Structure 1
């Protein structure tokens, strides 16, 4: 028997509303976890059955139950438009891990994993004014040294919808400030300004 917090949650939710969880002759709920799912558009099927449009979140449960000892086969048939497929026009921006098996649990199968890969976009820092050696900037854990000759610095790319916040980590012997340095990444890219003066 598979035991997990998700199993208990599924069982409770379906006990409160059996019709919402499918009802029918089956007695096993099929579901699991999702990572990287930040925008609606994920559609799954089980055993090539009805399409299930998954609400945005970190877990999912198919509304239709399966019989104990019946097989299940979870597939992605559509991915959100902010995910990155392996080929242009593909649907595998989200992929299924451990999506097949046999329903041997009494209450649920909660081991299916759906992993979504988000598209990323450039975060550019435009350096204005003279600046000396030792200047460093950060965005979260992303740390970049700014050479005296740099006029543009590319930070690590940011997923669409993720927040960013560029700050000055070190500026020995100079005054440097970041303008418009925080926000939410769009589907084009963002540019922030680093303004420096050296005595």
Structure 2
């Protein structure tokens, strides 16, 4: 009888998250983690077998069919969510497999496969109106930009689709600057935030 500390956890994950496991005569589970899975559309296979649809937001997966001890496994992404960024236009590799191949080891389930999805990003633009001759710095999370007195627009670091942004004035010396519509959720159209400055 196979004894593994991982098996009980994976079995519970099967029951609670995706689908009932144990659809074959094998004895080892194959699964792992998922990063960047924010929309439906991620589909995986193992050894070119049945397709596994991973729900949006899921951070782990386990295949329904088990594999035999010491048999090989080969996890592939056959479809990626529409908000991921493929390496070439029209490609399906917006999500990629890390450590997706190997051999099941005697008493260990496979839980080390990683699916990493790269999300599409879109521009976040700060539109500056009014005089700003002094020091002006804008911040969105860890992204920080210094605005020159001649700048009419500033491009912040692009934001992933469906991610939340919140642009704020970090420093304003020599003028008073306020922000309108500074926060929101990024869409495919990008976002423009208005920064209005007035001289003292």
Q: Same fold (TM over 0.5)?
A: yes
Instruction: Output one character per residue of 1:120-164: Cα deviation in whole Å (capped at 9) or x when no partner.
Output: 000001001111231000000000011111110000000001000
Partner of 1:77: 78
Alignment of 1:25-44 (within 5 A): 25-44=25-44
Q: Residue 14 of structure 2 contacts residue 62 of structure 2 at CA under 8 Å; is this kept in 1?
A: no
The unaligned stretches of length 5 or more in structure 1 are none
Q: How many residue pairs are counted as aligned between the two chains?
A: 196
Aligned mates of 1:173, 1:105 — CA distance in 2: 69
Aligned mates of 2:82, 2:15 — CA distance in 1: 34
Deviation at 1:11, TM superposition (A): 3.0
Partner of 1:138: 139
Deviation at 1:16, TM superposition (A): 8.5
Alignment of 1:141-156 (within 5 A): 141-156=142-157
Q: Name the CA shift for 1:143/1:16 in 2 (closer, same or farther; >3 Å).
A: closer
Partner of 1:50: 50
Q: Residue 139 of structure 2 contacts residue 170 of structure 2 at CA under 8 Å; is this kept in 1?
A: yes
Q: Residue 22 of structure 2 contacts residue 66 of structure 2 at CA under 8 Å; is this kept in 1?
A: yes
Partner of 1:100: 101
Deviation at 1:50, TM superposition (A): 1.0
Matched, 1:10 2:10: yes
The unaligned stretches of length 5 or more in structure 2 are none
Q: Name the CA shift for 1:191/1:103 in 2 (closer, same or farther; >3 Å).
A: same
Deviation at 1:105, TM superposition (A): 5.0
Instruction: Output one character per residue of 1:26-75: Cα deviation in whole Å (capped at 9) or x when no partner.
Output: 11110001111111100011001111111221111111111111110000
TM (norm. structure 1) is 0.92
Aligned mates of 1:46, 1:15 — CA distance in 2: 19
Deviation at 1:24, TM superposition (A): 2.9
TM (norm. structure 2) is 0.91
Aligned mates of 1:54, 1:106 — CA distance in 2: 26
Q: Residue 11 of structure 2 contacts residue 21 of structure 2 at CA under 8 Å; is this kept in 1?
A: no
Secondary structure, aligned partner of 1:73: strand
Aligned mates of 1:118, 1:16 — CA distance in 2: 27
Partner of 2:114: 113
Deviation at 1:168, TM superposition (A): 0.3
Secondary structure, aligned partner of 2:12: helix
Partner of 1:68: 69
Instruction: Output one character per residue of 1:96-128: Cα deviation in whole Å (capped at 9) or x when no partner.
Output: 010001111535200001111000000001001
Deviation at 1:8, TM superposition (A): 4.5
Please provide the CA RMSD for this pair. Answer: 2.1
